[in-house]
Amino acid sequence: MVNGASGSAWASVIRGRRSEETLLLGTPAHDDPTPLGREHLFDLASLTKVFTAVTALVLVDDGVIDLDAPLREIAPAHGAATLRHLLTHTAGVPAEHSGWRAGLRGDDLIEAVLATQGIAEPGERHLYSDVGYVVAGHVLELVTGRALDDLVQERVAVPLGAGTLTYRPDHAMAVATETQPGRGAIRGEVHDELAHAMVRPTGHAGLFGTLDDVVALASMVIGGGQGREGPVLSASSVRMMTTPRVVSAADYGQTIGLRVRDRSWMGDVDAVGHTGFTGTCFAVSLQSGHVAVLLTNRVHPTRSGTDISGVRRRFLRGLLR
């Protein structure tokens, strides 16, 4: 099912109510023969969105921000859109922003992304969007006066017990991703081009974490909001992460931060979870109480011909029932 060749990294865990099965294969990079360990950090890619969503719901639980208040006073370009719209990909903003291709970087790029005009009215349709989660992360910074990475660390990673979750990984402990024009072999830096060009933590991509960090996140969802080191979310917020609010054009349910019964990678499993472009995913079964996490660097050294949707479906098949 998996490729354990040099430079390919595969880490998986199935955790039930009483037991855990873990598999580690490969090495962190093609030029690093070190056996993959549970201490190695994967570029989590869009699993970052889930941590952003959890951070937002922590602030909702605290009464710091209202999920359904229009953002016009905080983020004028997004007027009638709400934080709930952003977190459920229904804000009407485009999927991507190509400013990095035009050479925009840092604050100039951030300002351009934040000023992105909608292509649909808020709530009109579902459109999976990196832009929406960039805006969401910025909104959290504005309402708290805190940097996003500090919020994620203090309000989510610490109570989760996800002690190695970081936007700034140690190069030696990071698993390599793609070799890109102009950047070379990427290791210890975010793979996502937009996040990299922003040169700062953002809400849609950029977090690195170990297998255990992602297991901690998934276990919190199945555990009703309880982290290893303390409570993370209220029961009502967990319900918002596990109950579909809209149905996508691809016929999966969209919650705040997660997908429900996404057949493209879950197959026929009744589960809630998310994927990341670099080759990461996790899913939980609310019925069985099982958690499944699969972390890979499928884009190393190239993304060409590396679709692992079938691998994900086989990995989950029968494991979450």
CA distances from 204 to 51, 93, 151, 257, 314 (A): 9, 14, 15, 11, 27
What is the pLDDT of the chain when averaged over all its residues?
95
For residue range 17-29, what is the model confidence (pLDDT) as tens digits?
Answer: 778 999 999 999 9
Asked whether the whole model's pTM tops 0.95, one would answer yes
Percent of the chain with pLDDT over 90: 91
pLDDT band at 73 (very low <50, low <70, confident <90, very high): confident
Q: Is pLDDT above 90 for 122?
A: yes
Mean pLDDT of 272-288: 96
For residue range 182-213, what is the model confidence (pLDDT) as tens digits?
Answer: 999 999 999 999 999 999 999 999 999 999 99
Percent of the chain with pLDDT over 70: 98
pLDDT band at 147 (very low <50, low <70, confident <90, very high): very high
Q: Is pLDDT above 70 for 321?
A: no
Spatial neighbors of 240 by CB under 8 A, at least 6 apart, are 57, 255, 256
Domains of the chain: 9-27+37-316 (3.40.710.10)
